[in-house]
Amino acid sequence: MKHTSICLLAIMTSLTAFAAPETVAKKTSIAVTKVVVTKSLENSLKAKGGAESLSRVVESMNSNLSSAFLSTRKFDVLTRTDLDALVAEQQFGESGNVDSKTAPQAGKFKGAQYIVTVAIDDYKDYMRKRNFGTLNKITETRIIRFGAVANLIDATTGSIKESTNFIISNEGRAEEDSRADTSSGDLTDSVIATLTRSMCNNIAFKISDIIYPAKIIGKTGKTIMFNRAADSGVKLGDVYEVFALGEVMIDPDTGETLGSEETLIGTIKVISVLPKFSKGVIVGEDNGIEKGQVLRLKENPKPEKSDTQDEEEL
């Protein structure tokens, strides 16, 4: 009987081991607040009477920003609507009408590890004129351009981990936007929606790269594989610099971790974008590129403004 019990226990233990669920990596929780406009920009546009299209931009960004972070598949996202409701509940909890032991505490955003704030600090809405002297022709296109500052805040300390500037414009879509302009000159909702979706994606991809830098997951000859796909903003022809991580650096005054020392050891160019990962080929020298090293997108220089165009702000 004792022998039988031991056998049954062994069988149950082995079955439990086989039935055990796979370990699921916990995503980083992130709270996305409402997009705002800086006071100086808001006052300037009100004085000029040009705040209407900007309000449409803000509305569109607030509709798309959380979705952009969700599409990276890196985060559990707390939306602006949830934040508004939580803040209201926190304020009620601090009013003295609720037991302090059960009331939600200020700053505890459902366990959010990071908070993302976005402020639009630059906005231009103007007509661009191009004079083609040899063709005796002048063209006009409505251009919209806006810039934003995104802050990544550590929710546990309240300190800003990273602050990044973004600028986007429909300048490269001149022909399409020309057809989209209305008789009043305002950009259509579809053009504004396209710009704001691109801005939101750029912010989400950048924040994702700050928290989870792209890393090499495999190497065969000059071909390397890394953990980024199309839904992470990777495109054919993108150029990434490869960095080897060194010693972790600590601020001697505050004890704060400042990150790891990084040494540039090579460059890769994306040749294939797959559903789960991407492939690149090493360009130039290979100074020890290997699995686990960090990739950072190499920014393209901005093209200089053509001498043939004039700009007239509306």
The predicted pLDDT at position 19 comes to 46
Successive 10-residue mean pLDDT values, the chain, 314 residues: 47 44 68 92 81 87 92 81 55 50 49 89 83 73 89 86 91 55 52 90 92 93 92 89 86 75 92 94 94 87 44 46
Question: Where would I find the H helices in the chain?
Answer: 2-19, 39-48, 52-71, 80-93, 174-180, 189-211
Which residues neighbour 302 within 8 Å (Cβ) at sequence distance 6 or greater? none
Tally of CA atoms within 13 A in the half-sphere of 293 that contains its CB: 25
**Residue 124 three-state SS:** strand
Asked if 110 and 85 count as a contact pair (C-beta separation under 8 A), the reply is: no
Write down the pTM of the prediction: 0.69
**Half-sphere exposure in the Cβ direction for 34 (13 Å, CA):** 10
Write down the residue that tokens 């009620």 correspond to. Answer: 92
Residue 68 backbone dihedrals phi, psi, to 5 degrees:
-65, -40
Residues 34 and 81: beta-carbon distance below 8 Å: no
How is residue 94 written in tokens? Answer: 């601090």
Kindly list the structural domains of the chain, giving each domain's residue range(s) and its CATH number in brackets, ordered by start: 24-212 (3.40.50), 214-298 (2.40.10.410)
Please tell me the distance from the alpha carbon of residue 65 to that of residue 68, in angstroms, as a whole number: 5
pLDDT attached to residue 144: 86
φ and ψ at residue 202, rounded to 5 degrees:
-60, -40
Q: Do 111 and 295 touch, CB atoms closer than 8 A?
A: no
pLDDT tens readout for residues 4-56: 444 444 444 444 444 444 445 578 889 999 999 999 998 888 887 667 788 88
Residue pair 132/138 in contact by the 8 Å Cβ criterion:
yes
Pairing of strands 114-132, 137-154: antiparallel
